[in-house]
Structure 1
Amino acid sequence: MQKVATIEDVAREAGVSRQTVSNVINAPSKVRESTRQKVHTAIEALGYSPNATARRLRTQRSSTIGVRLDAFSGGVSGVVLDRFVHALTEHASTRGLRVLLYAARTVEEELRQINELADGGEVDAIILTGTSREDRRADRLLERGMPFAAFGRPWGADDIAKADHPWVDCDGAAGTRAATEHLLERAGTRIAFVGWPSDSETGDDRERGWREVIGPRAGDDSAPRVSSEGGVAEAQVAVRSLLRDKAIDGIVCASDALAIGAHLAAVETGRPELQIVGFDNTAAAEALGLSSLEQLPERIAAALLEMLMGPEDSRITHPPAPTGLLVKPQLIIRQA
Structure 2
Amino acid sequence: MSKLSRALGGKTMGQLPTIHDVAKVAGVSRQTVSNVLNSPSLVRPATREKVEAAIAGLGYRPHASARRLRTQKSATIGIRLDPLAADGISGSVLDRFLRSLTESADRRNLRVLLFTATDSNDEIRQFQRLSEGADVDAFVLTSTFHGDPRTQWLIDHGQPFVTFGRPWGTDDRTDPKHLWVDVDGKQGIQQATKHLLDAGARRIAYIGWPSPSGTGDDRRNGWQETMTAASGLSDEVIASLHVSVDDGVTAGADAMGLLESTPGNIDGVVCASDALALGAFMHSSGRIPVIGYDNTPVASSIGLSSIEQPLDDVAEAVLELLTGVHGGRIQADRAAQAPTHRLLPPSLIVRRPLVQVIPTEGV
3-state secondary structure, aligned to 1:82:
helix
Is residue 198 of structure 1 aligned with residue 211 of structure 2? Answer: yes
Is residue 332 of structure 1 aligned with residue 332 of structure 2? Answer: no
* Number of residues of Structure 1 aligned to a counterpart in Structure 2: 273
Q: Work out the CA distance in 2 between the residues paired with 1:180 and 1:108.
A: 38
Provide structure 2 residue ranges, at least 5 long, that are not aligned to the other structure. 1-67, 354-363
Q: Deviations over 1:175-206 (max 9, x none)?
A: 10111111100142111111112232211111
Distance 1:241 1:128, change over 3 A: closer
Bigger drift between 296-305 and 219-228 goes to: 219-228
1:300 to 308, 314, 335: 314
3-state secondary structure, aligned to 1:104:
coil
Contact kept in structure 2, 1:174 and 1:329, CA below 8 Å: yes
2:266 to 244, 248, 259: 248
Distance 1:221 1:133, change over 3 A: closer
* Aligned match of 2:300: 286
* Aligned match of 1:319: 329
Q: State the identity %.
A: 46
Larger RCO: 1 or 2 (CA < 8 Å, sep 6+): 1
Instruction: Please state how far the C-alpha of 1:124 moved relative to its aligned partner.
Output: 1.0
1:61 to 55, 68, 73: 73
Instruction: Please state how far the C-alpha of 1:226 moved relative to its aligned partner.
Output: 1.6
* Aligned match of 1:103: 116
Q: Work out the CA distance in 2 between the residues paired with 1:235 and 1:182.
A: 21
2:180 to 163, 167, 179: 167
Q: Work out the CA distance in 1 between the residues paired with 2:212 and 2:196.
A: 26
Contact kept in structure 2, 1:117 and 1:123, CA below 8 Å: yes
Distance 1:187 1:231, change over 3 A: farther
Amino acid in structure 2 at the alignment position of 1:294 = E
Is residue 235 of structure 1 aligned with residue 260 of structure 2? Answer: no
* Aligned match of 1:152: 165
Q: Work out the CA distance in 2 between the residues paired with 1:138 and 1:228.
A: 27
Normalised by the length of structure 2, the TM-score is 0.70
Contact kept in structure 1, 2:162 and 2:178, CA below 8 Å: yes
* Aligned match of 1:27: none
Instruction: Please state how far the C-alpha of 1:240 moved relative to its aligned partner.
Output: 2.5
Is residue 136 of structure 1 aligned with residue 136 of structure 2? Answer: no
Distance 1:289 1:179, change over 3 A: same
Instruction: Please state how far the C-alpha of 1:104 moved relative to its aligned partner.
Output: 0.9
Q: Work out the CA distance in 1 between the residues paired with 2:236 and 2:182.
A: 27
Contact kept in structure 2, 1:57 and 1:121, CA below 8 Å: no
Normalised by the length of structure 1, the TM-score is 0.76
Structure with max Cα Rg: 2
Q: Work out the CA distance in 2 between the residues paired with 1:109 and 1:258.
A: 29
Runs of 4+ in 1 over 3 A off after TM superposition: 56-59, 216-219, 316-322
Instruction: Please state how far the C-alpha of 1:73 moved relative to its aligned partner.
Output: 2.1
Contact kept in structure 2, 1:308 and 1:320, CA below 8 Å: no
Distance 1:74 1:187, change over 3 A: farther
Distance 1:217 1:287, change over 3 A: farther
Is residue 212 of structure 1 aligned with residue 225 of structure 2? Answer: yes
Distance 1:317 1:160, change over 3 A: closer
Q: Work out the CA distance in 2 between the residues paired with 1:225 and 1:147.
A: 40
* Aligned match of 1:74: 86
Q: Work out the CA distance in 2 between the residues paired with 1:305 and 1:59.
A: 19
Contact kept in structure 2, 1:166 and 1:307, CA below 8 Å: yes
Amino acid in structure 1 at the alignment position of 2:133 = G
3-state secondary structure, aligned to 2:237:
coil
Contact kept in structure 1, 2:270 and 2:291, CA below 8 Å: yes
Amino acid in structure 1 at the alignment position of 2:302 = L
Q: Deviations over 1:272-319 (max 9, x none)?
A: 3421110010111112211000112221111000011139xxxx9673
